[in-house]
Amino acid sequence: MKLDEIKNIIDDKFSDKIKIFLDVNEINIDVEKSIFYDFCKFLKNNSNLKLDFLSDISGVDYLDYGKSYWETVDSTSKGFSRAHKSDLLYFLYMKNRFCVSYHFLSYQFNFRLRLRVFVDLSDMRVDSVVSLWPTANWHERELYDFFGVIFVGHPNLIRILTDYGFEGHPLRKDFPLTGEYEIRYDENKEKIVREASQIKRVINTPKIIRKDFRYR
């Protein structure tokens, strides 16, 4: 299914609250949080779309988006122009730190669609879609676990993949790779104790952003 066809199918009442575009030849829709649930309902029930299969829900934390560890701007003015100044435009346009992206598939029309909804720390609530696609249940629990997104209307929103008694949301970009706590057996106390992690993080390769026009 083409982008234009989908644009035609989607109701006018949503048109000012959504943004449809192609990203790497994949159909992407950004939707505002206020109409998110209604829009999902529309996607599922519209007979021309029939997005009856939700394949995945994933979260993205855009905190470090477009930031490199190793600034190579100075070399640009002096030498050849392979270094590139990081632009944060992509992040600024979104304004919100977190994104929840849903990947749909329509069995009948055989096309995929990505739906993104943005949330910020001030209000981490998103409507749950478990009532529309029951498979969302564990995906949403995982997102709550990893990012702290709160799904309103979820039947059982508890942690799923991290340890019992875990604190924090590990896939946020400000959560250290080495973790915040480490657990060891204390011989004097004769029990397992939890302490602040002593591991120092070593970055072997810095994250580098270069402008590369060869591919697209």
Partner 1 sequence: MNNIDHYKMNFGPQHPAAHGVMRLVLDLDGEVIKKIDAHAGLLHRSIEKICENNLYTQNVGYMDRLDYVSMMTNEHSYVLAIEKLLNINPPIRALYIRTMFDEITRLLNHLLWLGAHALDIGAMALFLYCFREREDLMDCYEATTGGRLHVAYYRPGGVYRDLPNSMPKYKGKEFGEKRLKELNYNRDGSLLDFISDFVARFPNLVDEYETLLTDNRIWKQRTVGIGVVSPERAIALGFTGPMLRGSGVEWDLRKKQPYAVYDKLEFKIPVGSNGDCYDRYLVRVAEMRESNKIIKQCIDWLYKNPGPVMLENSKITPPLRMDMKTSMEALIHHFKYFSEGFIVPKGEVYAAIEQPKGEFGIYIVSDGSNKPYRVKMRAPSYVHLSAIDELARGHLIADLVTIIGTLDIVLGDMDR
Provide the 10 A C-beta neighbour count for residue 12. 6
> CB under 8 A: which stretch of 1-9, 17-25, 34-42, 186-194 binds partner 1?
17-25
> CB under 8 A: which stretch of 5-13, 71-79, 182-190, 201-209 binds partner 1?
201-209
Q: Are strands 181-186 and 191-196 parallel, antiparallel or unpaired?
A: antiparallel
- Taking CB under 8 A as the rule, does residue 73 contact partner 1? no
In the complex with partner 1, the residue whose CB is nearer, 24 or 196, is 24
In the complex with partner 1, the residue whose CB is nearer, 39 or 133, is 133
- Taking CB under 8 A as the rule, does residue 160 contact partner 1? yes
Question: What is the closest distance, in whole angstroms, from the C-beta atom of residue 155 to partner 1 in the complex?
Answer: 11
32, 38, 52, 71: which one binds partner 1 (CB under 8 A): 52
- Taking CB under 8 A as the rule, does residue 174 contact partner 1? no
Which residue carries 């995982």 as its tokens?
142
20, 33, 38, 68: which one binds partner 1 (CB under 8 A): 68
Cβ 146 vs Cβ 170: under 8 Å: yes
Q: Which of residues 104-143 bind partner 1 (CB under 8 A)?
A: 107, 110, 112, 114, 133-135, 137-138
Helices (H), 33-98: 36-45, 73-78, 89-94
Three-state DSSP at 99 gives: strand
Instruction: Give how far the C-alpha of residue 199 lies from the chain's centroid of Cα atoms, to the nearest Å.
Output: 28
**Cα(116)–Cα(59) distance, rounded to whole angstroms?**
9
Question: What is the closest distance, in whole angstroms, from the C-beta atom of residue 78 to partner 1 in the complex?
Answer: 20
Q: Are strands 53-61 and 98-106 parallel, antiparallel or unpaired?
A: antiparallel
**Cα(99)–Cα(119) distance, rounded to whole angstroms?**
6
- With CA atoms as reference, report the closest residue to 120 among 88, 148, 81: 148
Question: What is the closest distance, in whole angstroms, from the C-beta atom of residue 29 to partner 1 in the complex?
Answer: 12
Residues that bind partner 1 (CB under 8 A): 23-26, 28, 52-56, 58-61, 64-66, 68, 84, 90, 101, 103, 107, 110, 112, 114, 133-135, 137-138, 160-163, 170-171, 175, 177, 203, 205, 207-212, 214-216
